């Protein structure tokens, strides 16, 4: 079942969602929360191809911006938010497995 990239993407997105919930519940926000989500996004992107890794990077940014930086899932597009978006997408793209199975 995990030989399909879509399934791996769903698992990775679910893990990011769960990690975000733990960060919010534990009160770990700002730079620490963003860093932890960036590392998790990068590690999870290894099992994905490029298109799915880019989507995971976008998801990681949304979780980080919406919950670690802002509250209640509010997404903003200020200069630092766009820099964070570029970092998440670039890290995921650099780490992606190029479509092979993990």
Q: Which one, of 2, 97, 102, lies nearest residue 52 by Cα?
A: 97
Q: Which one, of 37, 83, 31, 39, lies nearest residue 63 by Cα?
A: 37
Give the tens place of pLDDT for each residue, 2-58: 889 999 999 999 999 999 999 999 998 889 999 999 999 999 999 999 999 999 999
| pLDDT reading at 100 higher than 70 | no
Q: Which residues contact 96 (CB under 8 A, 6 or more apart)?
A: 45, 46, 48, 49, 50, 52, 53, 54
Give the tens place of pLDDT for each residue, 25-37: 999 888 999 999 9
pTM, two decimal places: 0.92
Domain layout of the chain by residue ranges? 5-95
Please state, in angstroms and rounded to a whole number, the distance separating the CA atoms of residues 83 and 92: 14
């Amino acid at each position: 079942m995990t030989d399909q990239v879509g399934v791996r993407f769903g698992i990775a997105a679910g893990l990011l969602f769960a990690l975000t919930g733990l960060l919010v519940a534990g009160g770990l926000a700002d730079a620490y929360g963003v860093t932890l989500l960036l590392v998790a996004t990068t590690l999870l992107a290894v099992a994905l191809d490029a298109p799915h890794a880019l989507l995971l990077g976008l998801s990681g940014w949304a979780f980080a911006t919406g919950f670690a930086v802002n509250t209640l899932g509010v997404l903003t597009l200020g200069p630092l938010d766009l820099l964070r978006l570029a970092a998440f997408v670039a890290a995921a793209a650099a780490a992606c497995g190029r479509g092979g199975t993990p």
